[in-house]
């Protein structure tokens, strides 16, 4: 029978409650004590020796953790391990003295580490799945390069063609037959797509086509770029006209008093199957006249409330450099315009368009007043080393690059897919800005829509689990952008305390509000000091 009596030496130093409890537990008397075997004795001796010798906190934490574990499991008394309470206190004190913030060994071991463990559990599934369920175009780059090689060969494109805007546009895939030869589509699919493309425009750049993984059912790149029969089944072959109720002037859309958009082109490098501007992009590319831009700019010039102008389309980067330069210079010349935004998906659909001349134009305008580039990336698959590098170049020249993703069934409607998207774009110099609910206004996209509750769960699940800077706001559009966040303010009691819900684990905490009497008090102490 071992000596169960814990060695009680009076506490010389005062520790925090966590450390006191920990030492108390490890030193407490145990019934049915066991003799430690040689292995345990040696293990503890070695931990004690490191904890004593090294000027580090980790060996001390390891020793206390082991002692707590063995005490709980085997009832091994401290004395039988050649230790006593004063030795533990000495080491606890040492821990506190080494640590820059005087964190106690009890606090670290019994509070901080379990909290970190619990947090780790929340991301376990994501870390295990993110490479499988949501591989990025960076991770799939070898396969994408294989695809590109095959496509170049079939389309007889040279490297120079591939790497130029004109080569990409000249070889853009707009017929089902060509598409079929590039990505190995079954005959039934070709027939169905042929039926839809009579109404809905299809155009993929060869680059964007290379992101499609042939043979993968419901490939997220394919879903976004190749129209399917569902569009016609949902809505028939009539595309409703552009709504007139938000356009106070030629090319202008306005919901808000101080921000508006100029739809500067109807062209895009690639036509998305979920395009909100379905009617606008129409059936053929149009080049707008100087008069049209002139009228839009005159509206902005004559309306001195407007401070933020979005140049969109279509896709702003499809505009020739000369027109972009002209519009930006005109806006820079209007005193009340303070911010310019450019809406473009080109960095993911045709990154080669972003040439040095364009970058110089962006930088020159950004030097006048901030330029933001607003893009649309819906899946980590759209980020490749090439698009990432394009965003890197843009972000060096402008104030910010922001992403507006659209929440789309099968493309990004799971936690893993959306977290991965947000993290991947953040790592690619792009800040997640909005997640839009897929519009109800165009019944063509019914098959892509995701219920609000699913969207809210996805966005809320990011808090506390991925960087705050990578979390977008969830928005529905219905004549303006309406935030869809769940309310984490659950209630308020009579003691001026709110109940707040932690979105990552649903734990509720009390949160004292600012004292209303103090808030109502006028002024600050300076007013007293200044009184003579």
Q: Judged by CB under 6 A, does residue 256 bind ligand PLP?
A: yes
CA distance 478 to 439: 8
Q: Which of 219, 253, 315, 413 binds ligand PLP (CB under 6 A)?
A: 253
Partners of 262 in the β-ladder: 252, 311
Q: Footprint of ligand SF4 on residues 366-395 (CB under 6 A)?
A: 376
Record the tokens describing residue 170, joined without a space. 């000249």
Determine the size of the site formed for ligand PLP (CB under 6 A).
Answer: 9
Helix ranges, 133-255 (H)? 141-155, 159-162, 165-170, 176-183, 187-196, 206-209, 220-225, 230-235
Shortest distance in whole angstroms from residue 522 CB to ligand PLP:
35
Token pair listed for 79? 């004395």
Binding residue for ligand PLP (CB under 6 A) from 145, 146, 166, 255? 255
When binding is defined by CB under 6 A, the residue of 57, 104, 209, 261 that contacts ligand PLP is 261
CB-nearer residue toward ligand SF4: 255 or 511: 255
How many binding residues for ligand SF4 (CB under 6 A)? Answer: 11
Q: Which is nearer to ligand SF4, 26 or 268 (CB)?
A: 268
Asked if residues 501 and 490 have their Cβ atoms less than 8 Å apart, the reply is yes
Q: Which residue has 């970058």 as its token pair?
A: 359
| Residue 91's binding partner out of ligand PLP, ligand SF4, none, with CB under 5 to 8 Å set by partner kind | none
Q: What residues pair up with 431 in beta bridges, in sequence order?
A: 402
345, interface contact from ligand PLP, ligand SF4, none, CB < 5-8 Å by kind:
ligand SF4
Instruction: Give me 105's structure tokens.
Output: 């060994």
Stretch binding ligand SF4 (CB under 6 A), from 32-40, 51-59, 176-184, 312-320: 312-320
The structure tokens listed for 412 are 């990004």
Q: Quick check: 313 binds ligand SF4 (CB under 6 A)?
A: yes
Burial class of residue 528, CB neighbours in 10 A (0-12, 13-18, 19+): exposed
Told to check if 271 binds ligand SF4 by CB under 6 A, we report: yes
Q: E strands of 287-430, at which residues?
A: 308-312, 339-343, 371-375, 400-407
* Residues 327-346 as x/- pattern, contact with ligand SF4 by CB under 6 A: ------------------x-
Tokens matching residue 68 = 């707590």
Contact with ligand SF4 (CB under 6 A) among 189, 272, 407, 438: 272
> Which of ligand PLP, ligand SF4, none does residue 253 bind (CB under 5 to 8 Å by kind)?
ligand PLP
Near ligand SF4 by CB under 6 A: residue from 89, 219, 315, 330: 315
CA dihedral in degrees (199, 288, 206, 427; nearest 10)? -110
Nearest distance, CB of residue 303 and ligand PLP, angstroms:
13
Phi (first) and psi of residue 401, to 5 degrees: -115, 120
CA distance from start to end of the chain: 80
Query: Does position 405 bind ligand SF4 by CB under 6 A?
Result: no
- In the complex, the smallest distance separating the C-beta of residue 198 from ligand SF4, rounded to whole angstroms, is 18
State the Cα–Cα distance between residues 309 and 432, nearest whole angstrom. Answer: 20
* CA distance linking residue 116 with residue 154, whole number of Å: 53
User: Which partner, ligand PLP, ligand SF4, none, binds residue 277 by CB below 5 to 8 Å per kind?
Assistant: ligand SF4
Q: Which is nearer to ligand SF4, 162 or 271 (CB)?
A: 271
- Helices and strands: H and E segment counts in the chain: 24, 12
As measured in angstroms, the least distance from the Cβ of 446 to ligand PLP is: 22
**314 contacts ligand SF4 (rule: CB under 6 A):** yes
Binding site for ligand PLP (CB under 6 A): 253-256, 259-261, 310, 481
Interaction site with ligand SF4 (CB under 6 A): 268, 271-272, 275, 277, 281, 313-315, 345, 376
């Amino acid at each position: 029978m071992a000596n169960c009596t814990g060695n009680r030496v009076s506490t010389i130093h005062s520790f925090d409650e966590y450390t006191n409890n920990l030492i108390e537990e490890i030193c407490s008397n145990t019934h049915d004590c066991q003799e430690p075997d040689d292995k345990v004795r040696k293990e503890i001796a070695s931990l004690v020796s490191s904890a004593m010798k090294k000027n580090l906190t980790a060996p001390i934490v390891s020793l206390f953790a082991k002692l707590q574990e063995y005490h709980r499991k085997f009832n091994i008394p401290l004395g039988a391990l050649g230790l006593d309470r004063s030795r533990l206190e000495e080491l606890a004190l040492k821990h506190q003295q080494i640590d820059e913030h005087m964190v106690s060994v009890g606090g670290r071991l019994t509070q901080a580490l379990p909290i970190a463990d619990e947090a780790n559990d929340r991301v376990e599934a994501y870390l295990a799945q993110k490479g499988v369920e949501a591989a990025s175009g960076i991770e799939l780059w070898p396969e994408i390069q294989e695809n590109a090689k095959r496509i170049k060969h079939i389309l007889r494109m040279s490297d120079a063609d591939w790497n130029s805007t004109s080569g990409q546009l000249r070889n853009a895939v707009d017929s089902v037959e060509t598409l079929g030869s590039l990505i190995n589509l079954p005959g039934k699919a070709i027939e169905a797509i042929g039926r839809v493309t009579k109404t809905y425009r299809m155009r993929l750049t060869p680059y964007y086509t290379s992101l499609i993984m042939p043979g993968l059912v419901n490939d997220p790149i394919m879903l976004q770029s190749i129209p399917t029969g569902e569009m016609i089944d949902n809505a028939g072959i009539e595309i409703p006209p552009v709504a007139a109720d938000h356009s106070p002037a030629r090319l202008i859309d306005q919901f808000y008093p101080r921000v508006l958009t100029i739809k500067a082109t109807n062209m895009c490098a690639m036509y998305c199957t979920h395009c909100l501007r379905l009617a606008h992009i129409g059936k053929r590319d149009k080049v707008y006249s100087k008069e049209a831009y002139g009228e839009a700019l005159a509206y902005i010039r004559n309306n001195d409330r407007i401070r933020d102008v979005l140049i969109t389309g279509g896709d702003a980067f499809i505009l020739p450099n000369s027109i972009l330069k002209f519009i930006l210079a005109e806006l820079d010349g209007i005193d009340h315009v303070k911010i310019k935004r450019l809406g473009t998906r080109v960095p993911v659909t045709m990154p080669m368009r972003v040439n040095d001349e364009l970058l110089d134009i962006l930088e020159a305008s950004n030097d006048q007043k901030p330029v933001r580039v607003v893009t649309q990336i819906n899946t980590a698959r759209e980020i490749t080393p090439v698009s990432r590098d394009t965003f890197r170049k843009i972000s060096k020249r402008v104030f910010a690059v922001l992403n507006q993703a659209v929440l789309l069934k099968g493309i990004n409607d799971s936690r893993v897919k959306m977290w991965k998207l947000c993290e991947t774009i953040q790592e690619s110099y792009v800040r997640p800005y909005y997640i839009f609910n897929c519009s109800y206004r165009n019944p063509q996209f019914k098959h892509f829509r995701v219920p609000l509750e699913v969207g809210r769960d996805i966005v809320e699940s990011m808090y506390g689990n991925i960087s705050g800077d990578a979390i977008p706001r969830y928005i529905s559009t219905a004549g303006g952008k309406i935030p869809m966040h769940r309310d984490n303010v659950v209630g308020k009691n009579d003691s001026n305390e709110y109940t707040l819900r932690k979105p990552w684990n649903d734990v509720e905490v009390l949160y004292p509000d600012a004292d209303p009497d103090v808030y109502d008090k006028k002024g600050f102490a300076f007013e007293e000091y200044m009184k003579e």
